[in-house]
Amino acid sequence: MQEVGKSFNGKVAALRGMSLSVNEGDFISLLGPSGCGKSTALRLIAGLMRPTSGRITWEGGQSPDDLGVVFQEPTLMPWATVMDNVFLPFRLRGQSLASVRARIDEVLHLVGLDRFAGAYPRELSGGMKMRVSIARALVTNPRLILMDEPFAALDEITRQKLNNDLLGLKAATGCTVIFVTHSVFESVFLSDRILVMAPRPGRVVSEFTVDTPYPRDTSFRTSAEYGAIARATSDALMAAMGNTELEAAT
Ligand SMILES: Nc1ncnc2c1ncn2[C@@H]1O[C@H](COP(=O)(O)OP(=O)(O)OP(=O)(O)O)[C@@H](O)[C@H]1O
């Protein structure tokens, strides 16, 4: 995306001058306080609305199969089994279950839910429901997966477990992810690039690179390198939030 801006009703500058280039295999976090335009950026990338200025382009053109999306709520169909929930993207394309069954089994195995293919969402824990949601986003092998605070509603232990699992999935599939979060620790653990954003107008104020190679395991969370990047990122986030308070007061 190049110099992308979005305003609503000609007034609210939800996003200003955002430039971002995403390469295959990248894991990029958008980190920032409420209202800094993170969701707006995702919605623009998803093509759910058009930018007011700037442009978003896909190398080689874009097709409907390019995107997988994971929301904060798992948004599963309660009346359908895990298998049928993960089948949904294929069903919407008119494909039969038999023709994609092997792929669904493969992805359920990747997210550790092989034994739950016949279960209903009400029988699953919050973390398991989120795994189903991730499996549904992965199953069509999209070029880019957008994740909008997917683990924010989960307890800390489940969240860390899913962070580990997400990196396992990344290693297994080579997927490309843009991940929205409020959490410095989550962004440092997961990403190779972190964009810190500030509100009013929504914009990117700093960018950090996390050079630690994947796979990263729990020992990374206690390393000096992790601590240093987390501190720098946290300082940038505090500065971004400080702007908010100052601007709100004036
Ligand atoms: N449809 C809309 N109409 C008017 N204003 C909007 C609309 N969508 C978003 N905004 C405004 O744009 C700004 C950015 O919103 P956005 O939801 O992108 O922020 P965010 O960083 O994702 O926030 P949060 O972390 O709370 O989800 C906010 O001031 C919001 O009120």
For the record, the structure tokens of 74 come out as 């798992």
CA-closest residue to ligand 1 atom 5:
8
Cα 129 to averaged position of ligand 1 atoms, centre (Å): 26
pTM of the predicted model as reported, rounded to 2 decimal places:
0.92
Q: Which domains does the chain have, with CATH numbers?
A: 2-58+143-249 (3.40.50.300), 77-141 (no CATH)
Q: Residue 243: its pLDDT value, please?
A: 55
Q: Residue 245: its pLDDT value, please?
A: 47
Q: Residue 250: its pLDDT value, please?
A: 33
Q: ipTM of this model?
A: 0.95
What are the φ/ψ torsions at residue 197 (nearest 5 degrees)?
-115, 150
User: In whole angstroms, what is the distance from residue 140 CA to residue 142 CA?
Assistant: 6
Cα 171 to averaged position of ligand 1 atoms, centre (Å): 33
Average pLDDT per block of 10 residues along the chain, 250 residues long: 92 91 96 93 93 93 86 93 97 95 96 96 96 95 95 91 92 94 95 95 95 90 94 94 52
| Residues within 6 Å of ligand 1 by CB | 8, 12, 14, 32, 34-40, 202
Which atom in ligand 1 lies closest to the alpha carbon of residue 197?
21
Q: Residue 113: its pLDDT value, please?
A: 95
Q: Residue 144: its pLDDT value, please?
A: 95
User: In whole angstroms, what is the distance from residue 150 CA to residue 165 CA?
Assistant: 13
Cα 229 to averaged position of ligand 1 atoms, centre (Å): 28
For the record, the structure tokens of 103 come out as 């792929």
